[in-house]
Each structure stands twice: as structure tokens, then as C-alpha cells.
């Protein structure tokens, strides 16, 4: 299974038509190398409600292109779209229609609290890797999964280990405490 990750804001370009082309190219590549999971981080950047204060002509065109690509995905294409957002309330309702992003996987506070306890020392990138890996475990168990359970996170924590060096953790702590200077040595 191939994995293509993209952050919503990375798709925008200052050149007219380039943002829409980036969406087309992404889905074209996903179909070429299928089976593929396309992971959109910060989907709200490209999928915000049309007519909202966040939307613009460019974002409306990019959303229209994304919807066109999603409608063009057939069950036989073996391309799965996963998306993450901190602002589900900002998403355009057209994205959430059946056949597009029609399943929501919610992360509950209990799981987050457990995850915080188990991931001390993990970098932001390592935490993202844990979450992505947990989602993959859930989908391996059931391709129709609508929930990532704690057991999936437990499996992911065995697969993704913290690699942040101890000396970096000390630098972060000094910075957090306001004692950091560029000449600090560890």
C-alpha cells in the first residue's frame, strides 16, 4: 500500500490555475501507484465552507477541483482518502456527502489522555506518525473502520518509537523555562 501525504496549505500557489493542477496531479499520481492512501492534513485549508470569511475565489476553485476528483474515484481505483482537521465545523458540507468524506473518526479525550501519558519525549512528527500508524492498523483490521481504538494506538506505539535525542529534550526544557541562549551547551 502506498501512502501520499499532503498538507492542505501546500497545494496553494500564487499562479492562476496551479493550485487546481496540484489537486489533479495528486489524484493522478495516486491512481497510477494504487493501491494508495492519500492523507490530507489540514483539509480545512482546501475544504472550508464556500461563502465563509475564510473562502476566496481561489479556495472555492480548489475545493471544486477536489470535489471533482473525489467524485471521479471509483471503488475499483483502490485509492482511499483520509483527512484530518482541527476544525470540522469549517468544512464545506459538500465534502461530507456520501462517496466523498463520508466517515468520521473521532478521537475522544480518554484516548488522548492515554496517548499523552505514553508519548513523553516524542516530537511532533513522531506523534503524527503514531496517529497515522494507528489509523493504518484500524484500516488493516477493517477497511470500513470508522473508529481508531486504543488498541490501534498501542500497536502504533510499538511500531513508532521516540527518537528525539536527550540533549535536544534538555534544550527544549531550557527554552520553555526561558533559560535558553544560543551559546548554551549541553
Domain enclosing residue 140, as ranges: 105-186
pLDDT tier at 124, thresholds 50, 70, 90: confident
Is residue 79 domain-shared with residue 154, that is, in the same domain? no
Answer with the residue of higher pLDDT: 4 or 124.
4
Give the end of a domain, one of 58, 79, 104: 104
pLDDT tier at 44, thresholds 50, 70, 90: confident
Q: pLDDT tens for residues 57-104? A: 777 888 889 999 988 887 667 888 888 887 888 888 888 888 888 777
pLDDT at position 186 over 50: no
**CATH number for 67:** 3.40.50.300
Q: pLDDT tens for residues 15-35? A: 878 888 999 999 999 999 888
Is residue 111 domain-shared with residue 168, that is, in the same domain? yes
pLDDT at position 132 over 70: yes
Pair type for strands 79-84 and 2-7: unpaired
pLDDT at position 184 over 50: no
Is residue 99 domain-shared with residue 137, that is, in the same domain? no
Is residue 152 domain-shared with residue 126, that is, in the same domain? yes
| pLDDT value at residue 49 | 72
Can you tell me the mean pLDDT for 131-137?
Answer: 91
Answer with the residue of higher pLDDT: 186 or 70.
70
Is residue 110 domain-shared with residue 78, that is, in the same domain? no
Q: What percent of the chain has pLDDT over 70?
A: 84
Is residue 130 domain-shared with residue 149, that is, in the same domain? yes
**CATH number for 164:** 1.10.8
- Residue labelled with grid coordinates 498501542: 154
Q: How many CB atoms lie within 10 A of CB 144?
A: 6
Return d(Cα 99, Cα 112) in angstroms, integer.
Answer: 29
Return d(Cα 18, Cα 13) in angstroms, integer.
Answer: 6
Return d(Cα 177, Cα 32) in angstroms, integer.
Answer: 49
Can you tell me the mean pLDDT for 106-115?
Answer: 70
Give the end of a domain, one of 104, 120, 138: 104
Give the end of a domain, one of 104, 138, 169: 104
Pair type for strands 79-84 and 36-41: parallel
| Adjacency order of strands within the sheet including 2-7 | 2-7, 36-41, 79-84
Calculate the average pLDDT of the chain.
80
As for how many domains the chain has, the answer is: 2
| pLDDT value at residue 109 | 60
Is residue 110 domain-shared with residue 75, that is, in the same domain? no
Is residue 116 domain-shared with residue 99, that is, in the same domain? no
Assigned C-alpha cell, 121: 519525549
Q: pLDDT tens for residues 140-174? A: 998 888 788 889 999 999 999 887 666 666 776 77
Closest CA to 81 of 108, 62, 99, 65: 99
Assigned C-alpha cell, 125: 512528527
Is residue 110 domain-shared with residue 145, that is, in the same domain? yes
Amino acid at each position: 500500500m502506498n501512502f501520499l501525504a499532503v498538507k492542505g496549505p501546500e497545494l496553494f500557489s500564487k499562479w492562476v490555475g496551479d493550485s487546481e493542477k496540484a489537486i489533479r496531479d495528486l489524484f493522478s499520481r495516486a491512481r497510477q501507484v494504487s493501491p494508495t492512501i492519500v492523507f490530507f492534513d489540514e483539509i480545512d485549508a482546501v475544504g472550508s465552507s464556500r461563502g465563509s470569511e475564510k473562502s476566496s475565489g481561489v479556495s472555492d476553485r480548489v475545493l471544486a477541483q477536489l470535489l471533482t476528483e473525489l467524485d471521479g474515484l471509483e471503488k475499483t481505483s483502490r485509492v482511499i482518502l483520509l483527512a484530518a482537521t482541527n476544525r470540522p465545523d469549517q468544512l464545506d458540507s459538500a465534502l461530507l456527502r456520501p462517496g466523498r468524506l463520508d466517515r468520521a473518526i473521532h478521537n475522544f479525550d480518554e484516548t488522548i489522555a492515554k496517548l499523552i501519558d505514553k508519548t513523553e519525549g516524542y516530537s511532533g512528527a513522531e506523534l503524527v506518525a503514531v496517529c497515522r500508524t494507528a489509523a493504518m492498523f484500524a484500516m488493516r483490521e477493517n477497511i470500513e473502520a470508522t473508529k481508531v481504538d486504543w488498541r490501534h494506538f498501542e500497536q502504533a506505539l510499538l511500531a513508532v518509537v521516540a527518537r528525539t535525542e536527550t540533549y535536544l529534550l534538555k534544550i527544549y526544557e531550557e527554552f520553555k523555562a526561558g533559560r535558553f541562549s544560543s551559546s548554551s551547551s549541553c
